[in-house]
Chain A
Amino acid sequence: MRISGAKAVINTLKEQGVEVVFGYPGANIAPLYDELKKSGIRHVLTRSEQAAGHAACGYAASGKKTCVCFATSGPGAVNLITAVANASADSVPMVIFTGQVETGRIGTDAFQEADITGATMPFSKYNFLIKNPSDIIRNVREAFYIASTGRKGPVLIDIPFNIQTEEIDTDDEAAEFDLPGYKVPGNPKLKELNEAANLINQASKPLIVAGGGVFASGAEEALKLFMESFNIPAVYSMMGRGAVASEKLNLGMAGVYGSDFANKAVIDSDLLILAGSRATERTLMGINKKSVHIDIDPAEQGKNIDSLGVTGDLKAALNALMLLVKRKEQSIKKEPENLGFHEGLDPIYFFSILSDNLKDEIITADVGQNLIWALKGIKDSKRIIMSGGLGAMGFALPAAIGAATESKKDGVVICGDGGFQMSLSELATAASLKLNLKVIIMDNSSLGMIRELQKDEYNENYSAVDLTGPKLKYIAKAYGASYGEISKNEEAENELGKMMNTEGIYILRVITDPDESAFRGQHHGR
């Protein structure tokens, strides 16, 4: 049968089980949109390509599927770049389709031509520029395979307009994968596991550092079993929040935003077991000590910290170690962080009350002080979907839209007034999808995190951090959302109760003092 390149793409998406595409159309991707409409695959139209990419990330993070986004050539593709970099930093399985000018025009600086494969090369796992229609089916299958195996990540496919319209013969069986250099680590090697077990058995105070890889591997249960069987405690990195299911052995978040208690546990330990964590400067702050590093990406081992590497799937590694490790007899005392709430509006107090009100909502958070307060106030068994590696403002709202699309659950969005204004147009997307989103805006009329930095390290020389925003009450009205506002601790209980029980979009403005600190005496992490 002869079909267009565009139809071949859409057929292959269906074959891959794709149910939703996040995107934004344009002339150079029109053939793909034409076929998408006919296919029955759902499309979510965000209000910018960047938001489409972040929404797709939220979708992937809240489920187990590879997410898909579409954008047109030139400006559309370039608008997606932040989201691609974000997906790369957080190992999100994502396949991106961008339209491109006709093959004959490539390289001529044609209208809406941008070299998107060149631009995304450093922060995509792989990318393709399809120049031959007969490669389409194979390349699309390869893209899904690469994005979702090994260390996951974004794969971009750039398809020139004429390749979308030219016909291909589907009777030619699409050739086998042609990826001679692509290696997916298999199960961890017995030799590495034995060496790791030896180190663990010799250690008297081993400590697990759980990272985002626990989620990527689906190893939450295996980790809990491992910890509880051997009485080994864990701290977690920001990306690993919610991954440590053993309550009594969870010592909290380590790192620049972590608790003193967790950081002390890192220092006091005599062996770190890095479980799907990159051991970045933000989490381990340059600490170098004996460690076992279990990761699917061998390039992470020995990069930030010297270690004995165990390469492979974390869940498989933990399960295998169950047979090799011996139980530790150590008493583990957990000290809750004494935060000492203050009068007026204490954001951490506010988040602790939110925490009590949470059921099974999906939480997304933005970047800045708001995130730090949320991390401190919300109980640490709760996962928070965030832009971890890139720290991109404007992530939380679109990510919540994607997450709600996948999970059908209600969403709680946490952001500052700065980050909110970067993505505020997405309220329309959420409204049109009739989502139940609770959007909490920590309004300090400033770019709080940077303001605090300028306060502490630049002599209070406040440069470009005062921020005026729209009257949020009217914004709520304009988007058909409910609205609430608080400025005192005493109001939190009531207002949050109301918010959690209201359907649709709810905007809660939490008025905080611009001088409110996220660190309370701790050091700044940039």
Chain B
Amino acid sequence: MEDRHVLAVLVANRTGVLNRVTGLYSRRGFNIEALSVGTTGREGVSRITITLKGDKKEVDQITKQLEKLVDVIAVKELPKEATVGREVCFVKAAAKGEARERLIQLIDIFRASIIDAASDAITACIIGDTDKTEAFLKLAEPFGILEVVRSGLMAIERGSVSMEEEADCGNK
């Protein structure tokens, strides 16, 4: 079954590490949906969140190939039920005449915010999980979407579990 999976990857902050990770995806033909990268609470350690589609076997293989990379410290598939995820999405849509009012309403309903407004367009910022973002995009479509920018999902496990602690890497 092709499902959406979220992998959290802790990497040593070295030149080329992102190349190594993404190179693996193209080389092995893995189907990557989104990727976000940033520093962590530990010195010299970054975290990559990868959203991908595949069956269990593929995800196992991806995990092992990632773990095999010298600069990868830890890889974890985040359990769906115990993970919170958010992505930031900017949507610029045409907003003229009476459509403008309805678009503003839609943005309100989704608790999104307006980060830019011009006479003929509005840019909304929506923060949520992937489902929420996609629901918004679907409803905004009839207005005429001009541009979409998505950060890629960031995800973290609920409760006190800490991947950084588990991997015991870098200095806090």
Complex contact B20–A180 (CB within 8 A): no
Complex contact B65–A299 (CB within 8 A): yes
A298 and B72 alpha carbons, distance in the complex (Å): 15
A107, CB-defined interface residue at 8 Å: no
* A151 and chain B: residue at smallest CB distance: B68
B149, CB-defined interface residue at 8 Å: no
Residues of chain A within 8 A of B16, CB atoms compared: 117-118, 121
For the residues of A in contact with B, the DSSP-based class is loop
Interface of chain A residues 279 through 320 with chain B (CB within 8 A): 297-299, 301-303
Complex contact A126–B70 (CB within 8 A): yes
Residues of chain B within 8 A of A303, CB atoms compared: 61, 64
Complex contact B57–A302 (CB within 8 A): yes
- Smallest CB separation, A471 vs chain B (Å): 44
Interface of chain B residues 44 through 65 with chain A (CB within 8 A): 44-45, 57, 60-61, 64-65
B170, CB-defined interface residue at 8 Å: yes
Q: With A180-B170, A298-B64, A302-B60 in contact, do A121 and B70 touch (Cβ < 8 Å)? A: no
Residues of chain A within 8 A of B23, CB atoms compared: 121-122
Q: Which of A117, A118, A180 contacts B169 (CB 8 A)?
A: A180
A302 and B11 alpha carbons, distance in the complex (Å): 24
Q: Which of B61, B70, B73 contacts A146 (CB 8 A)?
A: B70
Q: Which of B19, B45, B64, B74 contacts A121 (CB 8 A)?
A: B19
A522 and B134 alpha carbons, distance in the complex (Å): 54
A359, CB-defined interface residue at 8 Å: no
Q: With A122-B27, A129-B15, A180-B169 in contact, do A297 and B70 touch (Cβ < 8 Å)? A: no
- Smallest CB separation, A436 vs chain B (Å): 40
Complex contact B67–A183 (CB within 8 A): yes
* A117 and chain B: residue at smallest CB distance: B16
- Smallest CB separation, A276 vs chain B (Å): 17
* A142 and chain B: residue at smallest CB distance: B70
A376, CB-defined interface residue at 8 Å: no
For B, the interface residue count at a CB cutoff of 8 angstroms equals 25
Residues of chain A within 8 A of B60, CB atoms compared: 302
Residues of chain A within 8 A of B11, CB atoms compared: 181
Complex contact B19–A118 (CB within 8 A): yes
Bits for A111-126, please: 1 = Cβ < 8 Å to B, else 0: 0000001100110011
A182 and B71 alpha carbons, distance in the complex (Å): 7
* B169 and chain A: residue at smallest CB distance: A180
Most buried by A among B23, B44, B70, B72: B70
A105 and B163 alpha carbons, distance in the complex (Å): 40
B12, CB-defined interface residue at 8 Å: yes
For the residues of B in contact with A, the DSSP-based class is mixed
Interface of chain A residues 431 through 451 with chain B (CB within 8 A): none
B99, CB-defined interface residue at 8 Å: no
Complex contact A297–B20 (CB within 8 A): no
B115, CB-defined interface residue at 8 Å: no
Residues of chain B within 8 A of A126, CB atoms compared: 70
A145 and B44 alpha carbons, distance in the complex (Å): 22
B117, CB-defined interface residue at 8 Å: no
A179 and B44 alpha carbons, distance in the complex (Å): 11
Residues of chain B within 8 A of A183, CB atoms compared: 67
B69, CB-defined interface residue at 8 Å: yes
A23 and B20 alpha carbons, distance in the complex (Å): 27
Complex contact A299–B64 (CB within 8 A): yes
Interface of chain A residues 154 through 211 with chain B (CB within 8 A): 178-183
* B74 and chain A: residue at smallest CB distance: A181
Complex contact B73–A181 (CB within 8 A): yes
Q: With A121-B19, A121-B23, A180-B170 in contact, do A299 and B70 touch (Cβ < 8 Å)? A: no
Bits for B17-50, please: 1 = Cβ < 8 Å to A, else 0: 0011001000100000000000000001100000
Residues of chain B within 8 A of A118, CB atoms compared: 16, 19
Q: With A117-B16, A118-B19 in contact, do A181 and B69 touch (Cβ < 8 Å)? A: yes
A303 and B170 alpha carbons, distance in the complex (Å): 32
Residues of chain A within 8 A of B61, CB atoms compared: 299, 302-303
A383 and B81 alpha carbons, distance in the complex (Å): 53
- Smallest CB separation, A348 vs chain B (Å): 38
Residues of chain B within 8 A of A181, CB atoms compared: 11-12, 69-74
Residues of chain B within 8 A of A302, CB atoms compared: 57, 60-61, 64
Most buried by B among A118, A178, A301, A303: A303
Residues of chain A within 8 A of B15, CB atoms compared: 129
Q: With A181-B69, A299-B61, A302-B60 in contact, do A121 and B169 touch (Cβ < 8 Å)? A: no
27 A–B pairs (Cβ distance < 8 Å), ordered by A: A118-B16, A121-B19, A121-B20, A121-B23, A122-B23, A122-B27, A125-B70, A178-B12, A180-B12, A180-B44, A180-B45, A180-B73, A180-B169, A181-B11, A181-B69, A181-B70, A181-B72, A181-B73, A181-B74, A183-B67, A298-B64, A299-B61, A299-B65, A299-B68, A301-B64, A302-B57, A302-B60
Ranked 8 nearest A-B pairs via Cβ: A299-B64, A181-B73, A126-B70, A181-B72, A181-B71, A182-B70, A180-B12, A299-B68
Extra contacts besides A178-B12, A302-B60 (19): CB < 8 Å: A118-B16, A121-B23, A122-B23, A125-B70, A179-B70, A180-B12, A181-B70, A181-B71, A181-B72, A181-B74, A183-B67, A297-B68, A298-B64, A299-B64, A299-B65, A299-B67, A299-B68, A302-B64, A303-B61
Task: Enumerate chain A interface residues (CB-CB to B < 8 A).
Answer: 117-118, 121-122, 125-126, 129, 146, 178-183, 297-299, 301-303
